[in-house]
Amino acid sequence: MGKDSKRRAALGLRWGAMLTLATLPALAVAGEAAPTRHQITIDDILAMRSLSELTCAPDGRQAAYVASDVDVKADKRRSAIWLADLGGATALQLTGSEDSASAPAFSPDGKTIAFLSKRGKDKQAQIWLLDRRGGEAQKLTDVKGDLVAFRWSPDSRQLLLTLTDAEPEPPKDDPERPLPVVVDDVKFKEDGQGFITAESHTHLALFDVASRTETRLTASNSFDVIEAEWSPDGKSVAFLADHALDPATPATQWLSVVDAKAGAAPRVVAKFPGALGQTLIWSANGAKISHLVGDVPKLNQYSQPRLAETVLASGQTKVVASTVGTYVQHPIDLGGGRIGAILAEDRHEFPAVVDLATGALQRLGDGKLAALDHCGGRDAKAPRVVIASGDDAMPEVYAMEGKALRALTAHNRALGAGIAWSPVRDFSATASDGSEVHGMLTLPAGYVEGQRYPTVLWIHGGPTAQDSHAIDTMRQWIAAQGFAVLAVNYRGSSGRGDAYGTGIAADWGNKEVLDLHAATDWAVAQGIADPARLGVGGWSYGGILTDYLIVRDNRFKAGFSGAGVGNIFAFFGVDQYIQQYAQEIGAPWQDTALWMRLSEPLLHADRIKTPTLFMGGMADDNVPLIGGQQLYQALKLTGVPTRLVGYPEQNHGLVRPSFLRDRFERIADWFQRYLK
């Protein structure tokens, strides 16, 4: 439950004629006093520039990435493409920031950067080309559907497009007349997309750069192409299709290969349990493809993706043994049979290199900063580039040279230098059933050893995610209000191996609650948490676990449930998780007792005594606001203080800056009201 949509948001952008420099902090003058630090504010959080979509030039000497800023006046986030140089030159902004930019991609010949843009009268994002020698970007495509992803061909002459069909046009005599929405699939909803229609399914097309012509490559049926990649010789294309509800096989993703020409028939090579964050990487000789695999459908929601190789001739898939038990993210091709990856392991995010021939796995980075994204040229000797952050370090782009990280940008350096960051400590606790749980404690502002503080148990979503030593503005914000903050990697979290992750399958709100209780008891026993002033909150699966906690434990004097679920019956056929329901817990009529147990928060809402704030996006198809509405209504009837906040036109993840500010303010106010 609680995963964000995997579909890439197509953001607009405009090429700017003027190149600008990355903001650098002023150099300190000898004898000058160090700048006064202050507790983090919402203005600081909104001012932090987020960095993403890192991609390296073929020669590995430069890297393009997306930097996003908040435009307070326009009340939106704008994104621009920047270029970092490993040789030491100052980072350059390549596109203007009035609109937005996304998905930068170097052409294999190194001459061009392609990116997605929506501007002018375009209804959909299109691909634009930027000559690296300079000049204005040129619009390349004019596709009618939703352009989800694209890949350069090895000779830089074509693009492989992943896109949807254009939506039906309204009648010409009445262009304002809405058309009926018709669905035929078992899964018919996706957050950020809404109802899934025939036109919503993604297919592949070839686009000739010189002639600017589009040729359809695959049909759009009842499945989605979720990842595709050219073969090294450019003669064929491999792609993964989602068959998560196919009754004929327990596999969820099918690997197929098709000749790169119109009318070619795809050949299914292998079927295997799917994984989030898929990438297809061809071997240099075109005989094998590396990718990720998950677990059997019943456990797949919680599985730790591991690296695997499939032989195209036989369809045999072999998992790389050294990656079993760790969570593999962002696989990239480093050439020479070497795969780069980011590993999520027990509160850390390590860059790593896997040798496919030997299975050897080498962890890199300094261990202090968490890698968020990375890239590398096909020359294995070239330094790799990472986006990283830490407990007290906002995101920057770094060159990774073995264990050392060398900063290439200073987008957030001056901002971060002025903040008095709350210290973060690791801790371990033992649950009542003997399981060891790990987490992190963020100390409150002005912490004094030996003094007890109001404490908030802040629960991460997912559940297949982990709290790690990366920047976490929500935990820092709550700590700045004078609260100690507990972040717990409960069972179901990633980073602790397969058994730890899959232990909550078809058993939601049980072992996780034991782990959360253990962490709370630990903080009280350590003399840090005031047992009379305990709060709990979270978003998505964090909101769901909040609902389970407040119905069972009246110790918590304040609760915040963002995008939570109190009654799982109400979500069947309403949210996007029909695959998980069917494969993990069965339909409501198959095991009604289980569904009733999982609906404990609403069915026993009269046991809740915790004043609770409920919140969510009003357009959320991931965890719809109905979850908050029902529990809010129940607490109103039972006389427990409560409030419901819905954010119009927002999906599962809020994006409007004014709404983000409002959420921070309301959370702080709620905990202040009931814990201080």
- Residue 48 is predicted with a pLDDT of 97
Q: Among 119-123, 338-342, 533-537, name the one with the lowest average pLDDT.
A: 119-123
pLDDT (mean) for 222-243: 93
pLDDT (mean) for 572-585: 93
pLDDT (mean) for 248-263: 87
The β-bridge partners of 441 are 425, 486
- Residue 23 is predicted with a pLDDT of 38
Instruction: Report the alpha-carbon distance of residue 468 to residue 599 in Å, rounded.
Output: 30
pLDDT tens for 145-154 read: 999 999 999 9
Structure tokens at 302: 């919680």
- DSSP 8-state code for residue 274: -
Structure tokens at 385: 């580039």
pLDDT (mean) for 29-37: 62
- Residue 297 is predicted with a pLDDT of 84
Q: Is the model more confident about 136 or about 418?
A: 418
**pLDDT class of 34 with cuts at 50, 70, 90:** low
Burial of 497 (0-12, 13-18, 19+ CB in 10 A): middle
DSSP assignment string, 39-98? ---HHHHHHSPEEEEEEE-TTSSEEEEEEEEEETTTTEEEEEEEEEETTSPPPEE-SBSS
Instruction: Report the alpha-carbon distance of residue 75 to residue 93 in Å, rounded.
Output: 22
Q: Could you count the other beta carbons within 10 Å of the beta carbon of residue 543?
A: 29
**pLDDT class of 446 with cuts at 50, 70, 90:** very high
The β-bridge partners of 10 are none
**pLDDT class of 21 with cuts at 50, 70, 90:** very low
- Residue 489 is predicted with a pLDDT of 98
Q: What is the fold, at CATH topology level, of the domain defined by 422-675?
A: Rossmann fold (3.40.50)
Could you tell me the residue ranges of all domains in the chain?
329-416, 422-675
Instruction: Report the alpha-carbon distance of residue 158 to residue 356 in Å, rounded.
Output: 29
SS3 letters across 129-185: EEECCCCCCEECCCCCCCEEEEEECCCCCEEEEEECCCCCCCCCCCCCCCCCCCCCC
Please check the confidence at residue 8 and state whether its pLDDT lies above 70: no
Query: Which amino acid would we find at residue 412?
Result: N
Please check the confidence at residue 159 and state whether its pLDDT lies above 50: yes
**pLDDT class of 100 with cuts at 50, 70, 90:** confident
Place of tokens 């009318």: 263
- Residue 170 is predicted with a pLDDT of 84
Q: In terms of Cα–Cα distance, which of 347, 399, 404, 403 is closest to 370?
A: 347
- DSSP 8-state code for residue 216: E
- Beta strand segments in 402-545, E: 404-407, 424-430, 436-442, 453-459, 484-489, 529-539
pLDDT tens for 390-405 read: 999 999 999 998 788 9
Please check the confidence at residue 573 and state whether its pLDDT lies above 80: yes
- Residue 256 is predicted with a pLDDT of 96
Instruction: Report the alpha-carbon distance of residue 660 to residue 311 in Å, rounded.
Output: 47
Structure tokens at 596: 């009733």
Mean pLDDT of the chain: 91
Between helix 511-525 and helix 541-552 the angle, nearest 10°, is 70
Q: Which residues of 172-191 are buried (b: 16+ CB within 10 A; e: fewer)?
A: eeeeeeeeeeeeebebbbbb
- Residue 635 is predicted with a pLDDT of 98
**pLDDT class of 7 with cuts at 50, 70, 90:** very low
Q: In terms of Cα–Cα distance, which of 438, 600, 610 is closest to 518?
A: 438
- DSSP 8-state code for residue 403: T
Q: Could you count the other beta carbons within 10 Å of the beta carbon of residue 655?
A: 14
pLDDT tens for 600-628 read: 999 999 999 999 999 999 999 999 999 99
Q: Which helix (H) or strand (E) holds 626?
A: helix 626-638
- Beta strand segments in 514-563, E: 529-539, 556-562
Q: In terms of Cα–Cα distance, which of 454, 482, 627 is closest to 540?
A: 627
Structure tokens at 605: 């809402």
Please check the confidence at residue 3 and state whether its pLDDT lies above 50: no
pLDDT (mean) for 470-482: 97
Q: Are strands 484-489 and 529-539 parallel, antiparallel or unpaired?
A: unpaired
pLDDT tens for 485-495 read: 999 999 999 99
Please check the confidence at residue 18 and state whether its pLDDT lies above 60: no
Place of tokens 């979503």: 461
Q: Is the model more confident about 55 or about 274?
A: 55
Q: How many residues does the chain have?
A: 676
**pLDDT class of 11 with cuts at 50, 70, 90:** very low
Q: Among 240-254, 438-452, 520-534, name the one with the lowest average pLDDT.
A: 240-254
Please check the confidence at residue 22 and state whether its pLDDT lies above 50: no
pLDDT (mean) for 78-86: 95
- Residue 222 is predicted with a pLDDT of 66
Q: Among 169-173, 344-348, 414-418, name the one with the lowest average pLDDT.
A: 169-173
- Residue 487 is predicted with a pLDDT of 98
**pLDDT class of 13 with cuts at 50, 70, 90:** very low
Q: Are strands 370-375 and 213-216 parallel, antiparallel or unpaired?
A: unpaired
- DSSP 8-state code for residue 419: B
pLDDT (mean) for 271-292: 94
Structure tokens at 478: 């709550």
Instruction: Report the alpha-carbon distance of residue 235 to residue 224 in Å, rounded.
Output: 22
Please check the confidence at residue 17 and state whether its pLDDT lies above 70: no
Provide the total of helices (H) and of strands (E) in the chain, helices listed first.
11, 39
Instruction: Report the alpha-carbon distance of residue 99 to residue 16 in Å, rounded.
Output: 10
pLDDT (mean) for 13-39: 47
Please check the confidence at residue 20 and state whether its pLDDT lies above 60: no
Structure tokens at 632: 């809010």
- Pair 491, 515: CB distance under 8 Å: yes
- Spatial neighbors of 396 by CB under 8 A, at least 6 apart, are 51, 387, 388, 389, 407, 408, 409, 410, 411, 412, 413
**pLDDT class of 223 with cuts at 50, 70, 90:** confident
pLDDT (mean) for 360-370: 91
Please check the confidence at residue 16 and state whether its pLDDT lies above 70: no
Instruction: Report the alpha-carbon distance of residue 82 to residue 93 in Å, rounded.
Output: 4
Q: What is the dihedral of CA 73, 77, 81, 85, to 10 degrees?
A: 90
- Pair 94, 82: CB distance under 8 Å: yes
- Residue 19 is predicted with a pLDDT of 31
Q: Among 241-250, 304-313, 523-532, name the one with the lowest average pLDDT.
A: 241-250
Compute CA distances 263 → 205, 260, 327, 645, whole Å.
Answer: 11, 9, 38, 52
- Spatial neighbors of 620 by CB under 8 A, at least 6 apart, are 191, 563, 650, 651, 652
- DSSP 8-state code for residue 583: I
Q: What percent of the chain has pLDDT over 70?
A: 93
**What's phi and psi for 172, nearest 5 deg?**
-65, -30
**pLDDT class of 168 with cuts at 50, 70, 90:** confident
**pLDDT class of 2 with cuts at 50, 70, 90:** very low
Highest mean pLDDT among 89-103, 190-204, 269-283: 269-283
Edge-to-edge strands, sheet with 138-139: 102-106, 112-117, 126-131, 138-139
Structure tokens at 582: 């069917």
Q: What is the dihedral of CA 567, 569, 575, 579, to 10 degrees?
A: 120
- Pair 368, 390: CB distance under 8 Å: yes
